[in-house]
Copies of this chain bind each other. A is one copy, B any other.
Amino acid sequence: MRIAVDAMGSDYAPKEIVLGAVAAAKEYQCDIILVGDQEQILPVLDTYSNWRELGISVQQASEVIEMHEHPGVSVRKKKDASVVVATRLVKEGICDAVVSAGSTGAAVAAALFGLGRIKGIERPAIATHIPNLTGTTIMLDSGANVDSKPKNLVQSAIMGSIYAEYVLGMNRPRVGLLNIGEEDSKGNEQVLTTFPLLKQLKTIHFIGNVEGRDTFNGTVDIVVCDGFVGNVVLKTGEGLVSFLTTLIKNTIKNSGWLAKLAAFLLLPSIKKLKKKLDYDEYGGAPLLGVNGGFIICHGSSKAKAIKNAIRVACEFSEQKVVEHISENIVKEGVGANE
């Protein structure tokens, strides 16, 4: 396997990206091409004398797409942007998958323009890992699209199932439709139309409607939802966690020395807790439905997240997720023109 890693565009690029790539090259059986500004990448790489022997190489790309730029426009205009060049390496068969922690919009646009969609897939979907009491829940679409149509949700259910089965090793992953109640009759037009379509599928294990709380209690493996809804839910969740953290810190700060001592004594437990909540373990979110592996990482990813994302990218390619998606879309008869 050979993975193209976009070394630019994120909060800690290129340093943390390079460190993550080196760690992955050491640990996993894969070659890595770091794509970006050589002048910034090489000084970090050169702190490792043996980086070439680890199977790492560098592909120059002179441009970067910044977070605030319009994804579609910038991907078309900046032909030498790191994410565009990384994607091209997959398109040309030089690499098997891309890992990028740059702008999510740019990543989706680069993947769509550079790799195209799997035959039959109308729109790709981002599958995000959310920690739950027993492991992880996948939520998709979490923002590749807005105004998802029922057919998009159906295709997401199939794509998410394949990812969970082949990459995460889940057996018959449980698929739920995100709704405002568990009864079949609940919901807006979009989910009411989607529900019977999901029920008809033969290749997935559909368990019916689920509510927001189910995302965290381990009763569902794959939560299918509209891209707008998924994105709002994820960002609200992030906001809520950071709000609670600030609140706890402020409360302790305004308490007496006993509370401060207690908080200090709790640090090891808090560290254990943080590890449980650590998105980094999964590295990133696969963009499902495009013609190739494409793992999108959080803009603030550090080395560990990048390392894990590279592992996921390898497994994604080894397990032939794209081919399985293509097969099951045909098998279910839910392709774009069917």
Contact = CB atoms under 8 A, between A and B. Distances in A.
Interface of A: 132-133, 143, 146-147, 178-180, 187-189, 211-217, 225, 228-229, 231-244, 246-248, 251-252, 255, 258-259, 261-266, 268-270, 272-273, 276-277
B212 A235 contact: yes
Given A212-B237, A213-B236, A228-B229, 19 more contacts: A133-B243, A180-B228, A180-B232, A187-B228, A213-B242, A213-B243, A215-B236, A216-B239, A217-B239, A225-B232, A236-B237, A247-B273, A248-B273, A251-B269, A251-B272, A252-B266, A252-B269, A255-B272, A259-B269
Copies in the assembly, this chain: 2
A239 B212 contact: yes
Main secondary structure of the interface of A (DSSP, over half): helix
Contacts of A143: 180
A222 to B, nearest CB: 16
Contact of A240 (B216, B262, B265): B216
B133 A246 contact: yes
Contacts of A180: 143, 146, 228, 231-232, 235
Contacts of A248: 273
Minimum-distance CB pairs A-B, first 3: A213-B239, A212-B236, A216-B243
A147 B180 CA distance: 12
B268 A255 contact: yes
A143 B180 CA distance: 8
